Structure 1
Amino acid sequence: MSDEHSDGTSRLDVPEHLRYSQDHVWIDPSQSPAPMGVTEYAADQLGDLVFLDLPETGTHVDAGDEVIELESSKAVEPVVCPVAGTIAYVNRAASDDPEVINSDPYGEGWIAKIDLEDDEPDLMSAEEYGQLLKSLN
């Protein structure tokens, strides 16, 4: 879903297979445990990330919990988990090098993998998230 606007500016990447929250967090519910990270939009808004505070594996989270803290040169922002479940894995490589979240937010920049409690989390499709991004511009 990455293309250009009529004015020639590039639109942010919004992979079709992921699901999105209004807080700019993505989840891949097709995998188990489900990878979670921040969207390219969120990474761009934060700027260069310098620190990532990860939760402990085995931690139970509810939708709406602030589970991770991202620190950039601009701000410290909590990541709000859009789903309920248990943290199965955390991305220690991203913790060691938070810049990977800026450079590859949908790949190597995943933050945590969650064993979901709900097989059908209430999240936006790529198209719906794309509409949200348009409304922000």
Structure 2
Amino acid sequence: MTPSDDNGVDKIATARIDPTAEPTSEQVPGLSGQKESEAFAAAAKRHELEILRQEMGKLGVLFGSATTAPTNIAGLVLIVVFLFVGVSFCLPSSPELNDARKWAYTLGTGALGYLFGAAKKKD
């Protein structure tokens, strides 16, 4: 118990020091300030990645973050169009298939235009 004056305020100057008390912190051998800073920086990056992963959701994992998702979706559309057009030339020709190819060409050129336009904006 520490001594107090009449007002109940502790008098730290008259408190007794216990020489057998343990130190408040121990130095970990081999741990420098720089290693500690690096550990904190790595923990901060892991925390940022976890927050980003939570914000992206299920579709974000597939398509990417908000900044890259439109480009990734346009690339996916372009790949699907190329595959469809390639497969359509192996099938017997019909008016419906020709109309579907026209739609595929329209989608493909739109996706290409978006990809090249997005690349110009970044420069």
Higher relative contact order (CA 8 A, sep 6+): 1
TM-score with structure 1 setting the length: 0.19
Structure 1 or 2, whichever has the larger Rg, is 2
More helix by share: 2
TM-score with structure 2 setting the length: 0.21
